[in-house]
A and B are shown apart, each in its own frame.
Chain A
């Protein structure tokens, strides 16, 4: 059974710092891994999707990497801003299933 873990559960950093959020999963037979952002009381916004054959994806100040063999992904946020404050969720789609399995998220606060 696929399990997804995110560390740390919460993170508070000053504006301008580069930071790394971690995601690990137990079953490496995946189709893809998605990173989402969720603001309080809102739905999920897709940030990046990495297919199982890929090693990383980049969008603006965000870079996500995938090491399928070790069951790990990282989300790197460069030059953090207060507007980046949100919960970041990692989710995987395991092969032969059609659903996403989510971690519990990392709650990020960036203060001015």
Chain B
């Protein structure tokens, strides 16, 4: 069974640009969550999508957005990039048998560098 796939693995952007990251969940998983990981802040929750709807959202500005497609694949978008957005962005999928996804399976992440 294939794991969670994230593309691209690495991205270099400049301030003010926007970026779109992609995530394909494990087959059969209906929930996709996104996390930002930095050395200083650790893993921070961005948002979760289930059945094409955002059902949970972390404390990030509106520049961070996402969506989920009917095949459960998800994309995350960051507009007007700032230097502080440099981080490893992790996608995780879950069967989501309950209201809040718990047992998360992570992809390898997209390392975003903003210059």
Q: Do A and B come from one complex?
A: no
A-side residues, CB < 8 A to B, are none
